A = this chain, B = another copy of it.
Amino acid sequence: MTKKPARARRSDGEQTHAAILDTAVRLASIEGLGGLSIGRLAQEVGVSKSGLYAHFGSKQDLEMSIWAAAREIFEREVIEPALAAPDGLARFEQLCERYLSYIERRVFPGGCFFAGMLAEFDARTGRGHDEIADDQREWNALLDATAAAAQAAGELDPTADLRQLVFDVAAAIQLANYYFVLFGNAGVIDQARSSIRAAISRSGGHPPHHAP
């Protein structure tokens, strides 16, 4: 089926590559990209520094790969499961719930990778800033579009202020992430769930029906 040469299993090189990225993404979620050094990462993974450079040509290259790897994890853990729900209110609720679950399950040990990048790069100029600005725009656009679909389907009031809804939901989600990591208290996740339910309800949405 594939044009690649036959290869029974992943080579050691591929395993090492994946192991480096896995460790790097976890470390970066805790200490930020600026707090990540090649030497420490190499030590953590158990290879030499030049071993890292065999896989990533430069720190910038590594940082871009980390970002891409984190995006893949976010897609897999949050976006894709939510997109399995039908467009509209059900998907909107799933986007919120999947995000909160991804925080609660500590998919990244330092909390949402992108929330970390947001705070690290919001006030700087350059690649990091532009990257996180794109990511945040995309996330908000997805929430916007999904809320709009819910409204168009009659699942939300035609007069509901969707900008406000999306802002309130994004704010609850964001604060829940930081406070969950800071205090290690799952209560704040439920607080956000309650906030989101209330915000949706204010916009005229009803809790999902359960078959008897």
Contact = CB atoms under 8 A, between A and B. Distances in A.
Interface of A is mostly: helix
A170 interface: yes
B119 A120 contact: yes
A172 interface: yes
Interface stretch (A73-81, A90-98, A129-137): A129-137
Nearest to A161: B194
A117 to B, nearest CB: 9
A182 interface: yes
A212 interface: no
Number of identical monomers bound together in the oligomeric complex: 2
A164 to B, nearest CB: 6
Contact of A182 (B32, B122, B167): B122
Interface residues of A, number: 44
A171 B175 contact: yes
Interface of A: 29-32, 34-35, 109-111, 115-116, 118-124, 129, 132-133, 136, 163-164, 167-168, 170-172, 174-176, 178-179, 181-183, 188, 191-192, 194-195, 198, 202
